[in-house]
């Protein structure tokens, strides 16, 4: 079992690399044009895109979303390159599910990233459904400790588990269990989906149980249904993974979720992820109410090569984000976040 979980994380990376369409490329943010200013009345050089998250400064509102970890040289290299780049550029980084290190201790090293990122925000990660399969507060604390993390992401992935050949689909009673963990954990707990989205109803259930950070993780980018489709082999399931293709576009688009969740803005910090692919998308996500943006898949190939390549992509996104603010006549994030008058 532990070797299977370790192998699965590796499988996911192989499939994402082999099949371009696992990134749905829906560009849902394109449906939200912005008010271009020909007279912005500011100097691009005076724009300050910095922010704070979990008590630490970030150079601009970006997080490398959770992707991986495990007992493989490739996976160790990916996480090390991402952590070094996050530190060098002052952005946040989250790791992929740490379940593997609980069942397979040799995977721990891939999550011991604090030496590579001593100052910036690092987030731990576990699947919430594991609370129905033996995990509890102890595993959450272990996940935080190995990373020296500033907070713990819990991901919700019912579609992925339903399609996954060995999926764990008992999602009963999770909201209360998540609430109990949030109350007992020494660090903030953040809730996310993995690409189908957390709806207003989900978010209200979480807020009622004390959750203060929600990553909508909506649809538009990486499709876990499609990824798991490719993990079916003949004889492993009755439908041969067909359902994985049927549901590949399932979910709520990320910009729509930000609008849905706007009534909760005064009670939660919203994080936008799922299909964010440029600095323009980032600015739109903030205008729609997010305080921070997460991007996963576009960082995978650069991270396989070097920290420098990850840094280049982050710098590119930063440049695009600043140009967008310039063209909107915006100097700082407090003028941007939730300012829907900037929509055309």
Ligand X SMILES: Cc1cc2nc3c(=O)[nH]c(=O)nc-3n(C[C@H](O)[C@H](O)[C@H](O)COP(=O)(O)O)c2cc1C
Binding residues for ligand X, rule: CB under 6 A, are: 12-13, 16, 65-68, 96-97, 125, 153, 155, 192, 194-195, 217, 221-222, 273-276, 295-297, 300
Least distance to ligand X from the beta carbon of 188, Å? 16
Q: Which residue is nearest to ligand X (CB)?
A: 221
Least distance to ligand X from the beta carbon of 162, Å? 16
Least distance to ligand X from the beta carbon of 23, Å? 7
Which DSSP letter does residue 337 get?
Answer: T
- Nearer to ligand X by Cβ, of 67 and 144: the residue is 67
Q: Which residues contact 221 (CB under 8 A, 6 or more apart)?
A: 23, 24, 25, 26, 195, 254, 273, 274, 275, 276, 277, 296, 297
- Nearer to ligand X by Cβ, of 13 and 311: the residue is 13
- Nearer to ligand X by Cβ, of 192 and 331: the residue is 192
Residue with tokens 């952005």: 91
- Nearer to ligand X by Cβ, of 195 and 302: the residue is 195
Alpha carbon distance 255, 244 (integer Å): 24
Least distance to ligand X from the beta carbon of 341, Å? 28
Least distance to ligand X from the beta carbon of 99, Å? 8
- Nearer to ligand X by Cβ, of 97 and 110: the residue is 97
Least distance to ligand X from the beta carbon of 42, Å? 30
Which DSSP letter does residue 198 get?
Answer: -
Backbone angles phi, psi at 104, to 5 degrees: -140, 85
Backbone angles phi, psi at 170, to 5 degrees: -85, 95
Q: Between vectors from CA 170 to CA 169 and to CA 172, what angle results, nearest 5°?
A: 140
- Secondary structure of residue 271 in the 3-state scheme: strand
- Nearer to ligand X by Cβ, of 154 and 328: the residue is 154
Nearest-10 crossing angle of helices 307-328, 279-287:
50
Question: 237, 165 in Cβ contact below 8 A?
Answer: yes
Least distance to ligand X from the beta carbon of 153, Å? 6
- Nearer to ligand X by Cβ, of 65 and 291: the residue is 65
Alpha carbon distance 212, 210 (integer Å): 6
- Nearer to ligand X by Cβ, of 293 and 330: the residue is 293
DSSP 100-128: HHHH-GGGGGGG--GGG-SSS-EEEEEEG
Least distance to ligand X from the beta carbon of 35, Å? 26
Q: Which residues contact 103 (CB under 8 A, 6 or more apart)?
A: 1, 2, 5
């Amino acid at each position: 079992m532990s070797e299977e979980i370790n192998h699965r994380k590796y499988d996911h990376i192989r499939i994402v690399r082999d099949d371009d369409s696992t990134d749905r490329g829906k560009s849902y943010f394109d449906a939200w044009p912005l008010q271009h200013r020909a007279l912005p009345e500011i100097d691009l050089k005076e724009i300050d895109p910095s922010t704070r998250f979990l008590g630490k400064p970030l150079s601009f509102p970006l997080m490398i979303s959770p992707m991986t970890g495990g007992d493989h040289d490739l996976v160790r290299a990916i996480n090390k390159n991402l952590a070094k780049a996050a530190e060098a550029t002052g952005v946040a980084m989250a790791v992929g599910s740490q379940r593997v290190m609980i069942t397979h201790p040799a995977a721990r090293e891939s999550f011991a990233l604090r030496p590579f990122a001593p100052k910036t925000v690092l987030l731990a990660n576990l699947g919430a459904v594991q609370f129905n399969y033996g995990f509890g507060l102890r595993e959450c604390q272990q996940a935080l400790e190995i990373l020296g993390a500033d907070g713990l992401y819990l991901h919700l992935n019912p579609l992925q588990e339903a399609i996954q050949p060995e999926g764990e689909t008992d999602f009963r009673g999770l909201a209360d269990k998540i609430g109990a963990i949030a109350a007992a954990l020494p660090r903030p707990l953040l809730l996310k989906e993995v690409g189908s989205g957390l709806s207003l109803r989900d978010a209200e259930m979480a807020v009622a149980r004390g959750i203060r950070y929600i990553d909508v993780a909506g649809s538009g980018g990486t499709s876990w249904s499609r990824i798991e489709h490719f993990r079916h082999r003949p004889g492993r399931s009755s439908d041969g993974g067909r359902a994985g293709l049927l549901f590949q576009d399932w979910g709520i688009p990320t910009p729509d979720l930000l609008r849905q969740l706007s009534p909760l803005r005064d009670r939660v910090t919203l994080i936008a992820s799922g299909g964010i692919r440029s600095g323009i998308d980032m600015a739109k996500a903030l205008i729609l109410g997010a305080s921070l943006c997460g991007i996963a898949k576009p960082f995978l190939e650069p991270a396989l090569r070097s920290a420098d390549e990850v840094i280049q992509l982050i710098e590119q996104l930063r440049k695009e984000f600043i140009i967008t603010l310039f063209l909107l006549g915006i100097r700082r994030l407090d003028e941007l976040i939730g300012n829907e008058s900037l929509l055309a």
